[in-house]
Amino acid sequence: MAGNHRSNQIYFPPRESNWERFDALPPRDFQSAIDHALKNESLLDRNIQRALENRAFAEPPPWGDIIGKTRSREDPHGLIILNGKVAAKWGDTQRPDITFSVAKSFLSICAGLLQDDGLIPDFDAPISDLVNDGGFDSPHNKSITWRQMMQMTSEWQGSMWGKPDQVDHNRDLNVAPKDNADKGNERALKSPGTHWEYNDVRVNRLALALLRVAERPLPDLLRERIMDPIGASNDWEWHGYENSWVEINNQNIQSVSGGSHWGGGMFISSEDQARVGYLILNKGIWNGERLLSEHYVDQAFAPCNINEDYGLFWWLNNSQTRLPSATKTGFCAVGFGSNMIWVEPDYNLVAVVRWIEGSAFDKFCGEVLEILKT
């Protein structure tokens, strides 16, 4: 049953030191799950630039033009963390690979930090109350809230960095982009908060709004408040696009992207992602220090009222539709490719899995949990 391998002592890995191993189970116990991940390596071209140029997201030019940094990937990698310790790992877990939409969950964390600082007092308030750059002036956009943006229900209308919101109209995450024939076909927009649609342009609009409020680069905020305190490496990077520079307080700052749809985004190792997952597993506390408020964590994992499997840029599993082999209380940061940070509070588990076919991830979850149930 769940909890058989839990420890009453809470361990946090130190900075720049060996990450202790979990010795209650031998690493070989997870070998079938690891073999499954390796056998089902992502079909995405290892040359990420070429994959995007070959329309991995099935978008015609100029919508599909790559405007941000990319980096080729190598072998799959990942690790399984139990009680904060390494139960198993495979591949180069220190390699900072591009991670696509996992960056959205990092944007959520940045929003939480700004709320904790009182700079965004209420996620349910209109963004236009704090941001006056023209992006929220129209009658349709004026009432859009921070929460609606992070729950993918904003229906924001406009263009960001040369990409129109229409690029992701009718996007269906249950099929491969090349098979999503309706993606990009314009549809009538609905009232903000009434329709759920995964849309990267709107995420990038939120990233700029967060930058306007923070008045400093979001990677600097994240590094100072989260990544350095949890002992992450210095190898991670977070980029925007070649045209996403804005001037704030006489400083030229790049607005980061919430993914790598058109290049850019976050480049980060499996081990650094596992530390972030472990911070969230511990509800924002790291080794006795609260880095994120409980108020943010509670909001981040409260389901959207029109999509029970989505929080604030975090994927939930309430319906167990996407991950029937995981628990209802589990949650994920998910990136194209696929890149996963999977957290199971019932088992004190964090797993990071990089470059696995999305359709194969559920079986990986099932094989890991089967070991922990014994």
pLDDT of residue 1: 36
**Neighbour tally for 203: CB within 10 Å:** 25
Predicted confidence (pLDDT) at residue 313 exceeds the cutoff of 60: yes
104-256 classified as CATH 3.40.710.10: yes
What proportion of the chain, given as a percentage, has pLDDT over 90? 91
**What is the three-state SS of 22-53?**
CCCCCHHHHHHHHHHHHHCECCCCCCHHHHHH
Whether residue 267 contacts residue 105, with contact meaning beta carbons closer than 8 Å, is answered with no
User: Which tens digit of pLDDT belongs to each residue from 79-126?
Assistant: 999 999 999 999 999 999 999 999 999 999 999 999 999 999 999 999
Average per-residue pLDDT for the chain: 96
Under DSSP, is residue 180 helix (H, G, I), strand (E, B) or coil? coil
Exposure on the CB side of residue 317, measured as CA atoms within 13 A: 20
Question: Can you tell me the mean pLDDT for 17-32?
Answer: 90
Q: Which residues contact 3 (CB under 8 A, 6 or more apart)?
A: 346, 347
Query: Per the structure block, which two tokens stand in for 309?
Result: 């499997």
What are the residues whose beta carbons fall under 8 Å from the beta carbon of 7, sequence distance 6 or more? Answer: 24, 83, 348
In tens, the pLDDT along 177-234 reads 888 989 999 999 999 999 999 999 999 999 999 999 999 999 999 999 999 999 999 9
What confidence category does residue 8 fall into, taking pLDDT thresholds of 50, 70 and 90? low
Largest Cα separation within the chain, whole Å, is 60
User: In this predicted structure, which of 4-13, 69-78, 211-220 has the lowest mean pLDDT?
Assistant: 4-13
Please tell me whether residue 368 adopts helix, strand or coil conformation: helix
Write out the residue limits of the CATH 3.40.710.10 domain(s) in the chain: 104-256
Mean pLDDT of 335-341: 97
Q: Which residue(s) pair with 289 in the sheet?
A: 286
Q: What's the burial of 348, exposed, middle or buried (CB within 10 Å: 0-12/13-18/19+)? A: buried
- What is the predicted pLDDT for the residue at 178? 82
Residue 242 has pLDDT above 50, yes or no: yes
DSSP 322: S
Section 291-308 average pLDDT: 98
CA dist., res. 52 & res. 81, Å (int)? 32
Alpha-carbon distances of 26 from 86, 314, 332, rounded to whole Å: 11, 31, 25
Q: Which amino acid is at 158?
A: G
Cis peptide before 255 (omega within 30 of 0): no
Nearest 5°: CA angle at 199, between 317 and 153?
A: 65
The pair of structure tokens assigned to 59 is 């978008």
Residues near 295 by beta carbon (within 8 Å), at least 6 away in sequence: 115, 116
Question: Residues 102-114, buried b or exposed e (16+ Cβ, 10 A)?
Answer: bbbbbbbbbbbbb
SS3 at position 261: strand
Q: How far is CA 295 from CA 14, 118, 126, 190, in A?
A: 26, 12, 19, 30
80 vs 9, which has greater pLDDT?
80
pLDDT, residue 16, reads 74
